[in-house]
Structure 1
Amino acid sequence: MASAKQQENMLLTEHFTWPPISLIDDIINATNEVLYRCTDSFETGLLSADPALLGFADRYAAESRVSEKDEDGNDSFPEARLEIEEGVLKLETLMENAVDKNFDRFEIWTLRNVLCLPRGEEELGRWVRLGHYENLQTPPKDSKLTPESVHTLRREFIETQKLNAALVAEKKRNDAIIANLRAWLQPNPTTKLEPRNSTSPAKPSNNGTDASAPFAFLTHTPAAQSLGIQPLPQTSSTTAAPDSRTPLTTHTTFTTSQLPYLRQLLASLQPYLATTALPTSTASTTSAGEMTRERKVYVESQSKRILERRGVDTKDGVEGVWDGRRVGAEEVRGLEGLVQSMSRGRDKAEDAGAGAEQGEAMDTS
């Protein structure tokens, strides 16, 4: 169990929100800092002064010593700097001892007479109630709280605080996004938007451009107002009443509510799509021919790439391979001419045979 002095210190620390001894330490530290600045300034002033004015010239004369000369011909006293540093160090030590002695007395007197509870009453700290303890309900003695349950509650409280901070940050981000979206829909009051046609976006009627609200034509043009869409109210705050409804919100809600009926209608029409022929048009025929041509070009390009990987030269075209070597264009054209000649001869022979058969038939008749 804590002693009466420890209870008093804990009570004062909780009341001041800082330990009483920390105030005394801060005062002593500030005094020492001023002391060190004073000794540094004092040493700097002595080192910058002429040693002869500090009595070193008289000391040399009394001791019958001759001072040295520097490069400029002035008297030089090498031991002057060392003696100044030693003297300043002794002065600093003397002042530190004086500060420690006097401020120790100050610390004892303050803790006994100022930063303390009134004397003469035993264990007064046990009966003092601070302001933040008012209306605090203490748990009954038969409480089922255990150290484990208290630790669990503390962890839940910490996690709740983290969740609250995350939700507050998310709310701020959402408010910023909503403010930006509203700015896109709310043009400058001094800017008048022209009606938007199908080929050009809405433009201000004046020479300036309202680039801060690129989607203002959705709610602020006569065409939008003819559809029943009213412009958003010009409010400075980004938050609106929870139950406030705008025409755009109403239209969106109605459209969303009709989606289940549209899905049901589409499901009822799917069985008829398999038995119903779709009408053909010239556009569809042209599209099919274009797809066929693109497919042919793709097949030829892929075939050419495969032949190039296998070492076949495709610079003059790809007409085929004969006996492991590439057949040139001239050879292919010669073979085509030979085949055509043979085809013409076969056609002539067939024509001659047909004529003979026809003559025999005429004679028989």
Structure 2
Amino acid sequence: MASSKQQENLLLTEHFSWPPISLLDEIINTINEVLYRCTDTFETGLLSADPSLLGFSSLYAAQNRVPERDADGIDVYPEARLEIEEGVLKLETLMEGAVDRNFDRLEIWALRNVLCLPREGKEGDAEGGIAGWVRLGGYENLQIPPQDSTLTPEALHALRRKLTETTKLHTALLAEKTRNEAQLARLKSLLQPPTTPKREPRSSTSPPKPLDHNPAEDTAPFAFLTHAQAAQTLGIQPLLQSSNMAAAPESRTPLTTHTTFTTSQLPYLRQLLATLKPHLATTALPSHSTSEKDEWAKERRVYVESQSKRVLERRGVDTVDGVEGAVDGARVRSEEIRGLEGIVAATAGRSQRREDTAEAAQDGDVMDTS
């Protein structure tokens, strides 16, 4: 069982959320850091001073010694640095002893008179403290189970598991809430255009800014649903800024109202579409006139000829007389093409006459047989 002093230390540690001795340790450590900085500064100042001002010239004169000189003709005292370091070390040791002695007294006095609980018992009575009668705020309305509790180790383990899972669920819900808020903020930014910045006066040397690009279209591509003139004509009020939502919440018109109305009109639109379907089968689609078809064919022929000419020119074929054709890189002139077309036409005419004669002969055979 813990002693009364240990109970007191545990109670104070739980109340302050840090051990009482740690406060005194921090004070002593801070004083030591200040002491070391002071001695370092003191040593730096002595090393940067002229040794003759520190009495080394008088020491050399009393000892009938002549100091050495450097390249610039300045007296050099080699033992000056060593004596300064030894003196600063002795001073630092002396001051450390004084700090430890005095602050140990401060620690004992603070632990007995400040960082402690009042004692009302007799002097020297270890049980005279009030540590066993103090209840912190975290223990108020706490139901302490009786001594004959039937709580088994398995039930206690189950309660601990339940507490752990509940903590995990709470953490997950907080993270989900944070993600949902961020997602809602991003969705609202798609409908809420940014505020228009003030125009800065442009100097004569600065180039003019382009006027055809609207930065609001990049940050809020769906702002036209609530902030365009057509949306205001339909009665859709623009979204309020976050700072104005708390000031006038009754003036907000949710977009869901207009969406519900649009959805309610869908059956009527389907009915109209069903009545129009029979008329679509009998109604002829608009067709192009003959002149339009000829114009389109002419444009297409000109395009094909221009592209063919470009390809032939890349291959090194002469296209001065036209692009009617080229065989293996050799140019075929227009007169030759016309002659070939005449031969093909004559051949096609003879073939047609032969087919007509054969058909007439077959018809004659059929008639004789009947």
- What interval of TM-score do these two structures reach, taking the shorter chain for normalisation? 0.5 to 0.7
What is the distance in 2 between the residues matched to 1:314 and 1:139?
105
Residues 73 and 100 (structure 1 numbering): CA distance in 2 closer, same or farther, change over 3 Å?
A: same
Equivalent position amino acid for 1:132 in 2? G
Residues 132 and 250 (structure 1 numbering): CA distance in 2 closer, same or farther, change over 3 Å?
A: same
What is the distance in 2 between the residues matched to 1:284 and 1:134?
95
Question: Of 133, 136, 142, which residue of structure 1 is paired with 2:139?
Answer: 133
Matched residue SS, 2:73 = coil
What is the distance in 1 between the residues matched to 2:157 and 2:263?
53
State the Cα distance separating 1:118 from its structure 2 match.
Answer: 3.1
Equivalent position amino acid for 2:102 in 1? N
Q: Which residue of 2 aligns with 1:11?
A: 11
Contact kept in structure 2, 1:319 and 1:329, CA below 8 Å:
yes
5 Å-filtered alignment, 1:40-189, equals 40-119=40-119, 120=125, 122=127, 124-138=130-144, 141-143=149-151, 145-168=155-178, 170-171=180-181, 174-175=184-185, 178=188, 181-182=191-192
Equivalent position amino acid for 1:131 in 2? G
What is the distance in 2 between the residues matched to 1:116 and 1:159?
41
State the Cα distance separating 1:235 from its structure 2 match.
Answer: 8.7
> Which range is displaced more, 48-57 or 81-90?
48-57
The count of residues paired between Structure 1 and Structure 2 equals: 312
Equivalent position amino acid for 2:11 in 1? L
Q: Which residue of 2 aligns with 1:237?
A: 244
> Which range is displaced more, 151-160 or 42-51?
151-160
TM-score by length of 1: 0.63
User: Is 1:282 equivalent to 2:287 in the alignment?
Assistant: yes
State the Cα distance separating 1:272 from its structure 2 match.
Answer: 5.4
Residues 34 and 237 (structure 1 numbering): CA distance in 2 closer, same or farther, change over 3 Å?
A: same
What is the distance in 2 between the residues matched to 1:320 and 1:149?
94
Residues 103 and 233 (structure 1 numbering): CA distance in 2 closer, same or farther, change over 3 Å?
A: closer
Contact kept in structure 2, 1:46 and 1:84, CA below 8 Å:
yes
What is the distance in 2 between the residues matched to 1:346 and 1:31?
120
5 Å-filtered alignment, 1:210-249, equals 227-229=234-236, 236-238=243-245, 246=253, 249=256
Residues 116 and 231 (structure 1 numbering): CA distance in 2 closer, same or farther, change over 3 Å?
A: closer
Q: CA RMSD in A?
A: 5.2
Question: Of 325, 334, 339, which residue of structure 1 is paired with 2:336?
Answer: 334
Q: Which residue of 1 aligns with 2:365?
A: none
Contact kept in structure 2, 1:8 and 1:125, CA below 8 Å:
yes
State the Cα distance separating 1:247 from its structure 2 match.
Answer: 8.0
Q: Which runs of 5+ in 2 are unaligned?
A: 120-124, 199-211, 213-218, 354-370
Contact kept in structure 1, 2:24 and 2:107, CA below 8 Å:
yes
Determine what percentage of the aligned residue pairs are the same residue. 51
What is the distance in 1 between the residues matched to 2:14 and 2:270?
67
Matched residue SS, 2:54 = coil
Matched residue SS, 1:135 = coil
TM-score by length of 2: 0.62
Equivalent position amino acid for 1:276 in 2? A
What is the distance in 2 between the residues matched to 1:185 and 1:290?
51
Q: Which residue of 2 aligns with 1:28?
A: 28
Equivalent position amino acid for 2:138 in 1? H
Equivalent position amino acid for 1:157 in 2? T
Q: Which residue of 2 aligns with 1:310?
A: none
State the Cα distance separating 1:238 from its structure 2 match.
Answer: 3.1
What is the distance in 2 between the residues matched to 1:138 and 1:259?
65
Contact kept in structure 2, 1:319 and 1:327, CA below 8 Å:
no
State the Cα distance separating 1:105 from its structure 2 match.
Answer: 3.2
